[in-house]
Structure 1
Amino acid sequence: MNNINLAYSDYGTTSAGEAAFLAVAYLFIFLFSIIGYVIIAFLLMKVFDRAGVQGKWRAWVPVYNAMVFAKLGDVSPWAVLITLVAASIPVLNFIALPAYLVVMIMAAVRVNAKFGRTWPILLLFLLNAIGIWIWLGILGFSSNRWNPAAASPSPWGSSFIADKTFWNGIPAQPAQNVQGQNGGGYGAPVAPPAQGYAPPAAPGTTPPPPAPPAGPQV
């Protein structure tokens, strides 16, 4: 009987220890996730600012910041939203999660090129979270300027995954239809129409005085 009670006592102690360990582990994972997200949002804020995105808050909103990043990379933001929603469905997550990663890699390739960076730098994006931090930090704090015209046309420019949306505060990219800017986005400033002008008079000459108004006829 004493042996049975001892066995139950050991089992209860072990379960309590495992529960405490799991609680600490979950707390650590939660805190690490929060810190990681803050780092990602801060670096995205720097990249967005250099790309001409208005409003620093856009980098701090979950899911929406990924959609803005996709737009800068000439990828439809709705592709990001659809794949993320599908990834939360148990039956579809095995397909949707890899699809989301592919979409984000496609956008990262374009963003990398628009900052004038070569593909070896992009390998950091494929490593892990720390690699993505380093890659975003290079784009956000380096001397390379954002130049959307530096990237060649995307291979998917005529497909359904190409970005054709226009959002206020997010600059339209060259691959988008300029006429769509009336829908709320904005692109390069439009130059005012050219005004005609008379050439200056030659030096040393006086322009003739204006003719007097015609008087009444007698």
Structure 2
Amino acid sequence: MDYDPGYGVGAGAVIAIAIAYVAFVLLVVAGVYVLQAVGFMMLFKKVGIEPWIAWVPYYNTWKLLELGSQPPWIVLIALIPGGSVVLLVFFGLAAYRIGISFGKDASWTVLAVIFGWLWAMLLGRQHEVYDPRRLQAAGYPPPNAGIGSVPRPGGVF
């Protein structure tokens, strides 16, 4: 009596599905990375930061935090497990302050946190006006990078 439960066929199908799933996830991640880099490039060009920085992971977030008058070293906390939540909070604060510089309300911060690439693309459009004096008029310190930035004495963050 030979009993064949058919494991050979089932295992091959599971492996094929797993490979297809991993390929799909990698494709989505690569697509989001490209969208984010293009969006940051548009934003950085608008605010006077070198556009190539948008393609460098962590450094692009460093510059974005500087643009939003936040301590840029916070990006290093994302390397610690659970630290990305802290980075997300500071990214939200930076996005809010960048939005003020563009004359946008707080609802744009929600867009930045959920769809950062779209937020950056919309702010980087040609007709958007960046004025860092709006940030100072709202009672916040000037940006640490880009147009209107104020260098910190002694290289202190």
Question: Which range, TM-score by smaller chain?
Answer: 0.7 to 0.9
Greater C-alpha Rg: 1
Letter in 1 for 2:112: F
| Partner deviation per Cα, 1:162-189 (whole Å, 9 max, x = no partner) | 98x77xxx44635x54xx3x86xxxxxx
| Unpaired runs of at least 5, structure 2 | none
Q: Which residue pairs with 1:61 in the alignment?
A: 56
Partner of residue 153 from structure 1, selected from 135, 139, 157: 139
Give the 4+ runs in structure 1 shifted more than 6 A.
none
TM-align CA RMSD:
2.3
Q: Report the number of matched residues.
A: 153
Q: Is the 8 A contact 1:50 1:146 kept in 2?
A: yes
Give the Å deviation of 1:142: 5.2
Q: Which residue pairs with 1:20 in the alignment?
A: 16
Partner of residue 137 from structure 1, selected from 111, 114, 121: 121
Q: Which residue pairs with 1:42 in the alignment?
A: 38
Which is bigger in relative contact order (C-alpha 8 A, separation at least 6)?
2
| Partner deviation per Cα, 1:97-123 (whole Å, 9 max, x = no partner) | 211111111111111111111112322
Q: Which residue pairs with 1:103 in the alignment?
A: 90
TM-score using structure 2 length: 0.85
Letter in 2 for 1:77: P
Give the Å deviation of 1:144: 2.5
Percent of aligned pairs with the same residue?
25
Q: Is the 8 A contact 1:74 1:173 kept in 2?
A: no
